[in-house]
Amino acid sequence: MNERLEKIRQLLREVEAEMGAAAPGGDRDIAASELALVVQEIVDDLQPLLTPYDAAFYWFLFRHSIAGDGKPYLRMSSRHLSKAVVRSSYSQAAENTISLGKVQETIRALESIGAIRKEGEPNRDGTLYRVMVPGEIEACKKFRAERQASEPEFKFPSSGIDVG
């Protein structure tokens, strides 16, 4: 009996390893070595398409999903987001939260641009979302292509400082 259980466990480990390497629908973990490039793409291709609130929420969701554990999924609730992301610019109250309406509006905006995708129904812990990276967002691909076609590559001037 123990031999059979161990064989089942081994098969499960193999299946889990395969799923992590090539998950269905192109989902896969983002490796730490890819993180710098993803952040550059967010700054260059996604952030110019977002409002300040949208950008703050996206960065919060990105940090608690892809940047946190390499996985693009997280469960979130509007009530938690209203307290956790940023302060309201319209209130001087001690508990300076964003209205639930503004949170829902921001989530809808991120969904409409393709920055996040709802993956499940709400439960007590919130709704499951998938945080997308610019390479998966059509609006970012279009923005990048338009930007590259209309302007020469921008480079910062050399500082002359040797950091090597």
Q: Which of 83, 80, 64 shows the shortest CA–CA distance to 72?
A: 64
SS3 74: strand
Q: What would the two tokens of residue 161 be?
A: 């400082």
Tell me the average confidence (pLDDT) per consecutive run of 10 residues in the chain, 164 residues long: 74 60 51 78 90 90 88 87 70 67 90 93 90 91 85 64 58
Among 1.10.287, 3.30.70, 2.60.40, 1.10.10, name the CATH number for the domain at 26-150.
1.10.10
CA gap 22, 163 in Å, rounded:
38
What is d(CA 66, CA 72) in angstroms, rounded to the nearest whole number?
5
Tell me if 60 sits within 8 A of 109, measured CB to CB: no
Question: What is the structure's pLDDT at 147?
Answer: 82
First CA to last CA across the chain, in angstroms?
60
C-beta atoms surrounding 71 within 10 Å:
16
Q: What is the model's pLDDT at position 23?
A: 45
DSSP reduced 3-state for 46: helix
